[in-house]
Structure 1
């Protein structure tokens, strides 16, 4: 039986993305060129915003540089600690129809420009999210039964050593975008 890999991350709103890029470069991180990602988020039928995400399945259909990827995440201990399954798909529209047929419905569209770098086993993403601003995500893939909270505390300790203005968020981009909508939308 294969070991379950979990994506565990921490997320921060960033007040000065240029200062963050300099701090990461000082640590030896080489940021990629910016890429534009267009994501459609989906929730399983029956789930609505305001309910816990833990244990529910969520899907994402992403287009980046003409490539499409399909991902299903299931938050385990919290929204930012998920079992994740991802694969490339050839055609976005038939995949969208398949996602609907699997019992998901579209929730939020997330458009962002992303630059990435690696330090040790961490993937660092600087995201400029349309409608939200700049964010830093730090992700690791973890097998076994290590506590997600423990891993997130380690990632947070690293983030705090960067010496730049960071405000931690425990929500996903779709929830943050949903919360930013005008009342009644």
Structure 2
């Protein structure tokens, strides 16, 4: 399966909450997510991510999730596999031993809602800002860009000010931390 995402800078949370309320959708209570991103040895920022496998280790509410993603059509249309792990520190060392290196730490507060097979995630990302991320799952044979177009149409139907971004959170944080 593919995880398909689109991401937007969110300018006014109250406008989004009102638009969602009109559809009887309420965002969840906030949860803290602490993600460590990893890249394969030999890959560096500025190179294409298409076809390259990346790893992530997430801690949320005392649970640790290990995820690998391989971007297909673009950075936000990925083959994805995820599993819970018992020990974050041991998994961190295992990921490094598999040939990945830590890149960026992504710390965020996330609120979620679900509507018609779409996960709506409002993320306050340290060092990057406030975002709306829409996610869905598609068959491996489906066009990721077509699924993204459907998600974008849904986002635009909300009628709130959004600015679409094509970078993943690790790239956005890296840009924010880079000297101008």
TM-score by structure 1 length? 0.95
Q: Which runs of 5+ in 1 are unaligned?
A: none
Q: Which runs of 5+ in 2 are unaligned?
A: none
Cα-to-partner distance string for 1:74-127 (whole Å, 9 max, x where unaligned): 001100000000010111000000000011000000000000100011011000
Match of 2:135 among 135, 139, 143: 139
Match of 1:166 among 162, 167, 176: 162
- The offset of 1:144, in angstroms, is 4.3
Cα distance in 1 for residues equivalent to 2:13 and 2:171: 22
Aligned residue pairs, count: 180
TM-score by structure 2 length? 0.97
Alignment of 1:50-69 (within 5 A): 50-69=46-65
- The offset of 1:182, in angstroms, is 3.4
Q: Which residue of 1 aligns with 2:18?
A: 22
Match of 1:98 among 57, 82, 94: 94
Cα distance in 1 for residues equivalent to 2:133 and 2:169: 11
Q: Which residue of 1 aligns with 2:115?
A: 119
- Residue aligned with 1:77, SS: coil
Q: What value does the CA root-mean-square deviation take over the aligned residues?
A: 1.0
